[in-house]
Structure 1
Amino acid sequence: MVVAGALSGGIGGVVISEKSVVRRRCLGAQNVIRNVNVNRVDIRSRRLRFDNVVRGCGLISDHEALDCDMGGSKLEERLAETRDRLVNGSVDEPIELSDVIRPPSVQTELVLLALPAIAGQAIEPLAQLMETAYIGRLGALELASAGVSISIFNIVSKVFNIPLLSVATSFVAEDIAKHAESESDLEERRQLPSVSTALVLSIGIGIIEGTALYFGAGTFLNLMGISSASSMRVPAQRFLQLRALGAPAVVLSLAIQGVFRGFKDTKTPVFCLGLGNLAAVFFFPILMYGFGLGVTGAAISSIASQYIVTFAMIWYLNKKTVLKLPQMKDLQFAGYLKSGGFLLGRTLAAVATVTLSTSMAARQGPIAMAAHQICLQVWLSSSLLADAQASAGQALIASSFSQGNYSRVKEITYYALKTGLITGVSLAIILGLSFSTLATLFTNDAEVLRIVRSGVLFVSASQPITALAYIYDGLHYGVSDFKFAACSMMLVGAMSSAFLLYAPAVFGLAGVWAGLTLFMGMRALSGYIRLADQNGPWRFLQEIPKTEIAVSQ
């Protein structure tokens, strides 16, 4: 099919057809023409290249090409003549513009981004399992005290660090897209305000977080019900204070992960995380058993791992962007704090709802609580797949949306939702068939296993809903719709919490699981309503604006 288009150098009116070889050569000629006009001094160094590509395009004959050796003025005359012929559309072998500007397929980009992200999501939980296994060999008291401290550290980290990661991904992707529009050399390292702001904020938050965990360890343990009279109090407080020293590294590494996602690079963080956690696995037995440090050795190993990850990420980030102290006027504190504030409220609402579900399950008794914990961990672990897909979609949408490429955003959106639904259905089938057997890996207690098997419906049937909820979150982050993401989560969390306060008293543990399913279902529903809203940021899904910048694929 023949269409009309304009060459990237400003030459228009050229008829286009499928001749890929000729297309590449003609583009080379066009680039030479532009470069010669810009820099006359470089004419002779480009003469041979022009000779080959222009002759290959059929614009001048072999004999005419030899005339280029006669001198700069003769060459300039020939270049002007060739440019006029291109402008007038007299090229014998036209070029297909769609092949020139066509970006990588959405499917390819999503898969290439999601697969490493999935690996990255799995590495840290596996390392924590290894840490738990090593500590468990020291005794029940050590395992219980370390478990409480790790839970506190993870909750604080999730509440304050995840918002920074999500905001950094969107802001960096938008920043890169804006620079791509204004600068021709896309490979040149430059200092990006979004990156500098993320790093400065993460360092500040990390120091504050570490200080709060170190000096407030006793207060946090009191909130968890570990009184000063408990045998777990002293070892738990010591372990938490040691882990607090690694808080700055954890916050900084998460922020840099968000930056790498903004660069559409999910492979580098996986390598760095793998390197650091492999070091931790190496340090655990040496420090804990070889040097006899026990739980303290486990904490030191984790801290060393966190700083190894952070320094490795900084090393690789320096290859992508210029890292230096930014000027205060270049920092984007207002945008980060505003969007991060919204996501902080959103994260608090989500954590509060899940924590409430655990509290209500605990009131059903120790056996019911043990069964709930198994179901909850499997449920949360399986959601990492959808979360990785959501982060990949967020990075792609943020880049295309900031450029006004609404057709590509629409394509990414529909494909992300489709793959998310497929992932959810696949997980539902797999868990539905294997969950009863999988539960035996966690416990051999017959009564606990009986209750766990009754939770198969919750764990498996809710997977498609859970996957869509995570995908919708990633889509909203991609268009920087953080305010809606926060407000909707607070509303959904409040409604789900109200249900969780009363349903377990009537339905028991099934009421807890129904409350969590309701929580994810309303998240998915609110995401769908936002996409269908013709007055929101997704209004282009109904109709592509005429002012769209990109060419529809």
Structure 2
Amino acid sequence: MILSNLTVPLVSLVDSTVAGHLPHTQDLGAVTVGSAVYALPVWSLGFLRMGTTGFAAQAKGADDASALRTVQAQALLLAAMLGVLVGLLMVPLLPWLVAQMHSTPLMTGRAMDYLHLRLLGLPAALLNYSLAGWFIGAQRARTTLSLLLVTNLVNIALNLLFVPGFGWGVPGIALASVTGEWCGALYGIWQARRVLRGFDGHVDWQAMREWRHWLPLLRVNRDIFLRTIALEGVFFSLSLLGARIGDATVAANALLLNGLMLTAFGLDGLANAVEALCGHAIGARDPHALRRALVVAGGWSLIGSIGFALFFGSAGHLFVNLQTNLPDVRDAAYQCLPWLTALPVVGVWSYLLDGLFIGATRAREMRDGMLVSVLFFILLAWLTRSLGNEGLWLTFIAFMAMRALCLGWLGLRLRRQRAWIA
């Protein structure tokens, strides 16, 4: 799962690298702007992955093959419908969204060309989310990795063919990404059919015609969506508040947040394992397996977070220097490196507990804990507004700690109520 997570940024990285070797700076800018706009619906609909994992893991733990098949069918149908619907809704919004980036007319035109093609891959991207979530829940982590590798390898190969080979420029980059996503989706569906051959049971199509049969999945997805929007609001606030301090500050914070993303993608692999193992234990009604999964994953999470902290503590200056050679940006980033060093050890517990609540399909508690943490972030940001960027990072670290504390308190309350295993 750690390897799977580390492949996630590859699509944008490859697109940016290929665009960076095109003759005009507007090409790289168009791909950057287009990728940012395309990421809005993709990241917002990430609940398709998380919501599917918990239900699939519990069905696997209960050894209910029919439920496992039905969860897969529901997830794929929901992803396909949302992919088409959101894609159609995005088309009239594209001019306004791209205009918010304040790009030049030439760059705007190329970004629009990129996005009109890129949106053709949105249904496939969402299908891949649902497939990945189902594979994780079914404890097929290697299949998840192969799904992401197929998507990325096809994208890389076609980028090299379409752009340097055929000279298609920015449209070629978009077509390569779209083809990679559809190849990944088709491969994932084929692999899912192979996995299901080892299970008995059948999809309960009659029950799926009833609205009440969809309600549990839709409620969980709704709460995860609200939680994700709140979290994205915090990250947007970091950029907004940093920009008010100065250009060097917002640039330095972007470099440091790359370190956070590296940490999150790595440690989220352990959280994904917790989703599968805890969901399986809950489905099997095995409290000892649930406790064991949390203890073992907690130990590895602590070790992993300390490893990242040691890396940023010893090689933080090198990490910044590799990303920029601007002296003022480097100086601003150096000042906040201690905060980045502390962040993995503070933030890892919220990742781990997210995995527990996702595996248990307890999305309402996740949502409530996030909303409390966001309110705390807003209050602390106002109180530390005179401290500049140091105050901003203090606020963010405290927000990550509050996320873990809220989830920990909610988890202990559910344990006292004996509610984890219904």
User: What residue is the counterpart of 1:137 in the other structure?
Assistant: 21
Shift of 1:428: 0.6
CA distance in 2, matches of 1:306, 1:531: 37
Partner of 1:521: 401
RMSD: 2.3
Q: Distance in 2 between matches of 1:509 and 1:230?
A: 34
**What does residue 218 of structure 1 align with?**
95
Partner residue, 1:329: 207
Matching residue within 300, 308, 315 for 2:190: 315
Aligned residue among 231, 234, 252 for 2:109: 234
Cα offsets for 1:353-409 (capped at 9, x unmatched): 111111111222222221111001111121112211111111111111122101111
Structure 1 residues not aligned, in runs of 5+: 1-116, 181-185
CA distance in 2 between counterparts of 1:324 and 1:289 reads 48
Match of 2:11 in 1: 127
Kindly indicate whether the alpha-carbon contact (under 8 Å) linking 1:356 and 1:497 is maintained by their aligned counterparts in 2.
no
The structure with more helix, counted as a fraction of residues: 2
Instruction: Tell me the equivalent position of 1:157.
Output: 42
Deviations 1:397-437 (A, max 9, x none): 11111221011111112222222122112211111101111
2:118 is the counterpart of 1:243 = yes
Mapped contact 2:5–2:269 kept (Cα < 8 A): yes
Q: Which moved more, 1:399-408 or 1:306-315?
A: 399-408
Change (3 A) 1:133 1:225: closer
Is residue 175 of structure 2 the alignment partner of residue 290 of structure 1? no
The CA distance in 2 between the partners of 1:423 and 1:348, in whole Å, is: 27
Contact 2:95 2:112 in 1 (8 A): yes
Aligned to 2:341: 460
- Equivalent residue in structure 1 for 2:361, among 480, 502, 506: 480
- Which residue, 182, 200, 205 being the options, matches 2:82? 205
Q: Deviations over 1:418-464 (max 9, x none)?
A: 22122112211111101111211111112211111112111111111
TM-aligned CA deviation for residue 336 of structure 1? 0.9
| Structure 2 SS opposite 1:363 | helix
- Partners of 2:127 and 2:160 in 1: CA distance: 27
Match of 2:288 among 390, 407, 412: 407
Moved more, 409-418 or 257-266: 409-418
In the alignment, which residue of structure 2 is the partner of 1:11? none
Post-superposition offset of 1:537 = 4.9
Conserved? CA contact 2:162–2:172, under 8 Å? yes
Shift of residue 511, structure 1, vs aligned partner: 2.2
How far apart, in 2, do the equivalents of 1:118 and 1:131 lie? 22
What is the match of residue 55 of structure 2?
Answer: 171
CA shift digits 1:84-112 (9 cap, x unpaired): xxxxxxxxxxxxxxxxxxxxxxxxxxxxx
Q: In structure 1, what residue type is equivalent to 2:173?
A: A
Query: Is structure 2 residue 180 aligned with structure 1 residue 305?
Result: yes
Q: Structure 2 residue aligned with 1:509, among 384, 389, 398? A: 389
Q: Gaps spanning 5+ residues in structure 2: where? A: none
Cα shift readout 1:59-97 (whole Å, capped 9, x = no counterpart): xxxxxxxxxxxxxxxxxxxxxxxxxxxxxxxxxxxxxxx
**8 Å Cα contact 1:280-1:305 kept in structure 2:** yes
| Structure of greater Rg | 1
The separation in 1 between residues aligned to 2:134 and 2:114, in whole angstroms, is 31
- In the TM superposition, residue 150 of structure 1 has moved relative to its aligned partner by 0.6
For the Cα contact (< 8 Å) 1:288–1:298, is it kept in 2?
Answer: yes
Deviation, 1:506, is 1.3
Q: Is the 8 A contact 2:70 2:202 kept in 1?
A: no
Q: Distance in 2 between matches of 1:537 and 1:307?
A: 43
Q: Which residue identity does 1:173 align to in structure 2?
A: A
- Given candidates 420, 441, 449, the residue that maps to 2:301 is 420
- From 267, 270, 275, the equivalent of 1:386 is 267
CA distance in 2, matches of 1:487, 1:377: 27
Identical amino acids, percent of aligned pairs: 20
Q: What secondary structure is seen at the aligned counterpart in 1 of 2:194?
A: coil
Q: CA deviation at 1:212?
A: 2.2
Q: Does 1:256 align with 2:131?
A: yes
After the TM superposition, which of the residue ranges 427-436 and 329-338 deviates more from structure 2?
A: 329-338
CA distance in structure 2 between the aligned counterparts of 1:150 and 1:441, rounded to whole angstroms: 23
Counterparts of 1:107-126 in structure 2 under 5 Å? 117-126=1-10
| 2: CA distance, partners of 1:359 / 1:237 | 25
Q: Structure 2 length as normaliser, TM-score?
A: 0.92
Structure 2 distance, partners of 1:272, 1:225, is 33
Separation in 1, partners of 2:97, 2:378: 23
SS of aligned partner of 2:28: helix
- Using CA pairs under 8 Å that are at least 6 residues apart, name the structure with larger relative contact order, 1 or 2: 2
Equivalent residue in structure 1 for 2:73, among 196, 206, 209: 196
- What is the Cα deviation at residue 168 of structure 1? 0.5
Does structure 1 conserve the Cα–Cα contact (< 8 Å) formed by 2:60 and 2:283? no
Q: Pairwise mapping of residues 17-28 of structure 1 onto structure 2 (< 5 A)?
A: none
| Contact kept in structure 1, 2:253 and 2:333, CA below 8 Å | yes
Deviation at 1:148, TM superposition (A): 1.5
| Aligned-pair CA distance for 1:122 | 1.2
